[in-house]
Amino acid sequence: MPLEETPMSLVSHSSTAPTQCPQCVQMQTIQDRYWTRQGMKMILWVLLLLILVVGWFVPAWGFILLGCMAAAVGVAFFRGRAWCDVCPRGAFFDVLMHRMSQGRPIPRFLRSPAFRLLMLAVLMTVMVVRLTPVWGDLPKMGMVFWMILAVTTVVGVILAIPFNARTWCALCPMGSMAYWIGRGKQPLAVDREQCNACGRCARVCPMELYPGAHREEGVMTHGDCLKCSSCVVACPRQALSFEKVPHSDEPDCVAVNQSEAS
Ligand code: SF4
Ligand code: SF4
C-alpha cells in the first residue's frame, strides 16, 4: 500500500487540537489502528517468503494457504475483504511490490465478473485434479497447496510490475469470493457536506477505488474495499469513516484542520 503517499495532515490535526473532542479521539483511534496494521504488514510479508522457502522442504506448511483461504471467506461474512488487507501476500504486494510497480491501472477485463469466475473455476479444478490422487497423504496434499501458492505468487509479481501492485488481488479467486460474499458489509460512509471531490482518497487506495465519487449516495459499498482505512487517514476533510464520525456541532479543532487542508 502506498505508505509514502499517506498524508500526515490528520496526525498534525491531533497535535494542533486545543482540546480532545470526541471526533479527535475517534480519529486518533482510527489512526492508531491504521498504523498498527501497517506495522503488522511489515512482518506479514516476510511470512509469505518464509512459507515459500520452508514449504519446499516441509510441505505441511502449504496448509497455511488453506487457512488463509478459509479466513478470507470467513471474514467476508462480517467485514467484506478486510482479511485481504492483512493477508501475507497482500502485505507483500503493499510493502515490497509497491516500490517496484509502475502503477498503471489494473486492466478492466481482469476485474470483470466473468474473468474472476474463470479464475475461481481454474483454481477449483486444479485443486480437485491435484488433490484427488494424493488424498490422505498430508505431505503431498501440503505440496499441492504450496504449488498453488508459488504459482499464483509468481503471477501476482508479474502483474504487479507493470500494473498496480495489488493487481493480483483484483482477480484472486478467494478475494473474488470475499468480494461476492462481503459486498455491502461494513460500508464506508462518505460525508457529502465534507467531501470536496479532491481525489486524494483515490490516489491512496490500493484497489483503485474512489470513495469521493460516492458522496451523493453518502456511502460506498464496493465489494473490493479492503477496509484498510488508507483513504480515511488520507482524507484532509475527514469525510470518510467506517464508524460514521459525526460532523455536526464541529468543535474548533476540526475547523482548524479543515482550513489547513483547503
Ligand atoms: S479525499 Fe476526502 S475530500 Fe477528497 S475526494 Fe476523497 S472523500 Fe472527498
Ligand atoms: S476505499 Fe479506502 S478502505 Fe477501501 S480499499 Fe480503498 S483505501 Fe482501503
pTM of the model: 0.84
Distance from residue 192's CA to the centre of ligand 1 (Å): 10
Q: What is the pLDDT of residue 259?
A: 44
* CATH at 230: 3.30.70.20
Whether 78 is covered by a domain: the verdict is: yes
* Pairing verdict, β 188-190 and 240-241: antiparallel
Q: What is the pLDDT of residue 105?
A: 96
Residue at which a domain ends, from 182, 198, 229: 182
Domain that holds residue 29: 9-37+183-261
Residue at which a domain ends, from 182, 213, 238: 182
Whether 4 is covered by a domain: the verdict is: no
Residue at which a domain ends, from 138, 161, 182: 182
Question: Helices marked H in 192-251 — which ranges?
Answer: 200-204, 230-234
Strand order in the sheet with 219-220: 219-220, 188-190, 240-241
154 and 191 within one domain: no
pLDDT digits (tens, 9 = 90+) for 106-115: 999 999 999 9
Q: What is the pLDDT of residue 247?
A: 52
Pocket test for ligand 1, best of 191, 240, 244 (most atoms within 8 A of CB): 240
pLDDT digits (tens, 9 = 90+) for 80-101: 999 999 999 999 999 999 999 9
Distance from residue 85's CA to the centre of ligand 2 (Å): 9
Q: What is the pLDDT of residue 24?
A: 80
**245: which 3 cell numbers?**
464520525
206 and 178 within one domain: no
191 and 177 within one domain: no
User: Which ranges of the chain have pLDDT less than 50?
Assistant: 1-15, 246, 248-252, 254-262
175 and 45 within one domain: yes
Q: What is the pLDDT of residue 26?
A: 80
Q: What is the pLDDT of residue 262?
A: 41
92 and 45 within one domain: yes
Pocket test for ligand 1, best of 201, 210, 254 (most atoms within 8 A of CB): 201
Q: What is the pLDDT of residue 18?
A: 57
Domain total in the chain: 2
